[in-house]
Amino acid sequence: MAPVDPHSYTDGAHPVTAHAALAFYLDFSASAIHASALLTLSAPHSGDLLLDTRALAVHSAATATAPADPIPFALAADADPVLGSALTLTLPPDTTSFLLTFSTSPAASALQWLSPPQTASGLPFVFSQCQSIHARSVFPCHDTPAARITYSLLLNLPARLSAVAAARHVARRDPVPSDHRGAVPSDLWCAPGRIVEEFHMAQCVPPYLFAFAAGAIGSRDLGPRTRVYAEGGDTLLDDAAREFAGVEDMVKVGESLFGPYDWERFDLLVLPPSFPYGGMENPRMVFLTPTVIKGDAAGAQVVAHELAHSWTGNLITNKTNEDFWLNEGFTTYAERRIVEVVQGEERAALNMGIGWRGLNRMMERFKDNMEFTKLKPKMAGIDPDDVYSEVPYEKGFQFLWRIERQIGRPAFDEFLKKYIATFKFQSIDTETFLEFLKANVPGIENQVDLDVWIEGTGIPPDAMEPDSATYRKICTLAAEFKSGKIPSEDEVADWSGQEWELYLENLSKDVESSQVIALDERYKLSESRDYEVKVAFLQLAIPTGCRCYFNEVEKCLKQVGRMKYLRPLYSSLAKCSEEEKMLAKRIFSEAHEFYHPIARSVVESILSKHG
Ligand code: BES
Ligand code: ZN
C-alpha cells in the first residue's frame, strides 16, 4: 500500500479513475440517489483496487465488457470517522473499466435535501458540496485531489424541476432505457413525468469539484458567458442579476492578470440560505450563499475570490489537503488583485486588513495546537472540516505578498503567469511549488526564509500588517472605544459592511456590556441585514453576558446556515455560562434539520467539545 493522501484510501501503486460516467436517479421522497457509475481507469489493472466511499450502499460491481459477470467486492464494515469506508474490488486481469450500482444515504455528507416547506418555491431542492472529502458520499471514487477525472452526468428528476452542474450542459431530454446502466429498473427511469438533464465535464478536475443542484431553478443572463441561477423566484433573480452585473468585466480583469479563462462559461448559482459556505468555486458554476446579495456590491469580493479559483485551485490544484494553502493562499492573493482593479486600492487594503485580523485571531484559536498555524500542517487522522481556518488563506496570502515585495510586482506577475501556464490541469504539492519558485526566482531562498514560512508555526516576523488611510482610521477608532468613545455619525457616514466588520473585529474583547449596548443603540448593528456585521457584533456581545441579544442570535442561527456565522456564534455561546450553553443546545435542536450535513456535524463537534 502506497498512500498518496492522508484523506483517501487511494493506493499510489495502482491506477486511478480517469473518467466517470454517472447516471443518478434523484429520489426526493427518500432523500437518496440510486445510481450507476461506469469508472474507467488510467491504466489496466488486475486484482485489488481501493475506492473511497462514505455511507453508500453498494449493490453490484461488474466489468464493463461482461456485465453479467460480477466482480467480487467488499465494503469495510466499520467506517473510519474521517475517511469513511474503503471499497475493495477484486478486478479480473487487465480491467480498464467497471460498472458499479449503489445508493446514497439520506445522511450523505455532501448532499442537502430540502423538503418543499424548506424552499422558496415550495418544490423540493437538492445540492451537493463535495470539498473537502465529501464526493465519496455521492459516488465511489478516488477521492483525492491528486487524482483528476473527467465525467459525464445524467440526472433523472421530476420534469417540473431542472438541474445545473459544474459541467457543460448537453441536453434536457426524455429518459431512455440505455441511460441508466442498472441504476434503477427501466420503468422507473423512464416513468412518465421524469426528465433527464445531461452534462459533460471534458476538463480533468479533482473529485471535490464535482457538483450539481436540482430544483425549481430560474436564471438571468448577465453577459456572453455569464448567467445567474437561483431557486427563489423572480425578485431574488432580479436582485442577483443587479448584484452580479459586473461579473463579465471581472472575468476580463482575471484574464488580464492571470492568463486566459479556460472554463468557457462562468455561471453563478445562488443557493438557499442553508448553503454552508460563502462561495464554492465549482468550475463553470460557482455556488454562492444568498447572504452575499446585499445591494451594496460587497458580494463582489466573494465572487472575485471564487473567480480567482478558476486559475488557482481549479487549474492548479493542491495535491492533498496538507497543501490547501496552494489553493486558498494563492486565491486570496489573486482575489485581492482583482478587487484592487475593480474596486480600488483602498478596498483591497481593507480586505487585507480584515484578513490580517483573522490571521491573528487564529493564533489565539490554535494556541494549544500550533500545528494548524503552519502553512503545511500534518493532517493524518484530522477531519479538514474541523480545522478549517483563515490560516491557509491569510498566511498563504502573506507569504506570496512577501515574495512580491521582495522581487517587485512586475517580476511577481510574470512569475505567477508562468506558474499557472506550467502547472495547469495538474495537482501539485508545496515542494513542487518551492522548486519552481527557486528555479524561476534565483536566490529567493537567501532573501526570504522559506522554511520559516512553510514549516514554522505562528506568524513569521516578515509578515506585514497592511496599511491604508481607511484601515488606519478604523483601527484608531476601534482603539478609542476602550476609553468609551463611540464613533460619530460623521465618522461612519461612508462606512459599508466591511468597514463595520473591521471596526468590530478590532474592538478589544474585554468591553463592558453597557458599552456594547450603547454602540448598538446608536447604530442598530444587532439588527443589521448584513450578516457579516450582525455576526461580528453578536460575537462581541455574547461574552459580555448581555442577554438582550439572545433573540437576535437565535434568529440569525435559524435563518442562515453559513458556517462562517455558525462557528463563532455557537462557540461563543458554548464557552459562556450554563444559560448560554442551554440556549445553544436548544437552538441547535430546533435548527439542525435546516443545516447542511457538513454544518450539522461541525456544530455538533463544537457543542460536544464544550460539554
Ligand atoms: N473553497 C472554498 C470553500 C471551502 C473550503 C469549502 C474548504 C470546503 C472546504 C471557497 O473558495 C472559499 O474560500 N469561500 C469563502 C469565500 C471568502 C474567502 C471570500 C467562504 O465561503 O467564506
Ligand atoms: Zn477559496
What is the Cα–Cα distance from 194 to 184, expressed in whole angstroms?
13
Class of domain 482-609: mainly alpha
Q: What is the pLDDT of residues 429-480, one digit of tens each?
A: 999 999 999 999 999 999 999 999 999 999 999 999 999 999 999 999 999 9
What is the Cα–Cα distance from 441 to 435, expressed in whole angstroms?
10
What mean pLDDT do residues 265-290 have?
A: 98
In the structure grid, which three cell numbers stand for residue 291, read together?
Answer: 447572504
Domain boundaries, the chain: 17-216, 317-467, 482-609
Q: Which fold, 17-216?
A: Immunoglobulin-like (2.60.40)
Task: Indicate which atom in ligand 1 lies nearest the CA of residue 132.
Answer: 9
The closest of 254, 302, 301, 261 to 284, measured between CA atoms, is 261
Residue nearest (by alpha carbon) to ligand 1 atom 14: 279
Cβ-based burial of 582 (10 A; exposed 0-12, middle 13-18, buried ≥19): exposed
284-298, 322-336, 512-526, 594-608: least confidently modelled range? 284-298
CA of 111 to the centre of ligand 2 (A): 20
What is the Cα–Cα distance from 36 to 103, expressed in whole angstroms?
9
If one residue of 208, 305, 354 were mutated to test the ligand 1 pocket, choosing by the most ligand atoms within 8 A of its CB, it would be 305
Contact 71, 90 (CB under 8 A): yes
If one residue of 280, 301, 372 were mutated to test the ligand 1 pocket, choosing by the most ligand atoms within 8 A of its CB, it would be 280
Q: What pLDDT, on a 0 to 100 scale, did the predictor assign at position 2?
A: 87
Q: What pLDDT, on a 0 to 100 scale, did the predictor assign at position 95?
A: 96
Q: What pLDDT, on a 0 to 100 scale, did the predictor assign at position 316?
A: 98
CA of 337 to the centre of ligand 2 (A): 14
Contact 140, 103 (CB under 8 A): no
Q: Catalytic residue at 393?
A: yes
Q: What pLDDT, on a 0 to 100 scale, did the predictor assign at position 527?
A: 94
Share of the chain above pLDDT 70, in %: 100
Instruction: Please tell me the pTM assigned to this model.
Output: 0.98
Residue 84's SS3 state is strand
pLDDT at 39 over 90: yes
Considering the segment(s) 317-467 as one domain, its CATH architecture is: Orthogonal Bundle (1.10)
Q: Looking at beta carbons, which pairs linking 371-374 to residues 24 or more positions away fall under 8 Å? A: 371/457, 373/457, 373/458, 373/459, 374/454, 374/455, 374/456, 374/457
10 contacts: CB under 8 Å, gap ≥ 6: 3, 4, 16, 50, 52, 142, 143, 144, 146, 147
Q: List, as one string, the DSSP characters of 113-168.
A: EEPGGGSSSSS-EEEE--TTTTGGGTS-B--STTS-EEEEEEEEEETT-EEEESSE
Per annotation, catalytic residue among 9, 393, 419, 549 = 393
Task: Indicate which atom in ligand 1 lies nearest the CA of residue 280.
Answer: 10
The closest of 495, 452, 487, 488 to 471, measured between CA atoms, is 495
State the Cα torsion 133-138-140-146 to the nearest 10°.
-30
Q: Say how many C-beta atoms besides its own lie within 10 A of residue 476's C-beta.
A: 10
Task: Indicate which atom in ligand 1 lies nearest the CA of residue 306.
Answer: 11
Contact 352, 466 (CB under 8 A): yes
In the structure grid, which three cell numbers stand for residue 492, read together?
Answer: 461612519
What DSSP designation does 241 have?
H
Ligand 1 pocket by Cβ (under 6 Å): 131-132, 277-281, 301-302, 305-306, 309, 328, 388, 564
In the structure grid, which three cell numbers stand for residue 130, read together?
Answer: 463535495
Q: What pLDDT, on a 0 to 100 scale, did the predictor assign at position 375?
A: 98
Task: Indicate which atom in ligand 1 lies nearest the CA of residue 335.
Answer: 19
Q: List, as one string, the DSSP characters of 258-289.
A: H---TTS--EEEEPPTT-SSSEE--TTEEEE-
The closest of 215, 213, 230, 133 to 165, measured between CA atoms, is 213
pLDDT at 297 over 70: no
Amino acid at 186: S
Q: What pLDDT, on a 0 to 100 scale, did the predictor assign at position 69?
A: 86
Beta bridge partners of 17: 41
Q: What pLDDT, on a 0 to 100 scale, did the predictor assign at position 298?
A: 72
Q: What is the pLDDT of residues 206-254, one digit of tens each?
A: 999 999 999 999 999 999 999 999 998 999 999 999 999 999 999 999 9
Residue 194's SS3 state is strand
If one residue of 127, 277, 285 were mutated to test the ligand 1 pocket, choosing by the most ligand atoms within 8 A of its CB, it would be 277
What mean pLDDT do residues 80-90 have?
A: 98
pLDDT at 89 over 80: yes
Task: Indicate which atom in ligand 1 lies nearest the CA of residue 331.
Answer: 11
Task: Please tell me if the domain spanning 17-216 has the same topology as the one spanning 482-609.
Answer: no
Q: How confident is the model at residue 65 (pLDDT cuts 50, 70, 90)?
A: confident
CA of 276 to the centre of ligand 1 (A): 9
Amino acid at 47: G
Residue nearest (by alpha carbon) to ligand 1 atom 17: 302
Per annotation, catalytic residue among 243, 306, 499, 552 = 306
Q: What is the pLDDT of residues 507-526, one digit of tens each?
A: 998 899 999 999 999 999 99
Q: Catalytic residue at 595?
A: no
Q: What is the pLDDT of residues 94-115, one digit of tens each?
A: 999 999 999 999 999 999 999 9
What is the Cα–Cα distance from 150 to 164, expressed in whole angstroms?
17
Q: What pLDDT, on a 0 to 100 scale, did the predictor assign at position 232?
A: 87
CA of 110 to the centre of ligand 1 (A): 15
Contact 317, 294 (CB under 8 A): no
Phi, psi (rounded to 5 degrees) for 325: -65, -30
What is the Cα–Cα distance from 324 to 429, expressed in whole angstroms?
9
Phi, psi (rounded to 5 degrees) for 140: -65, 130
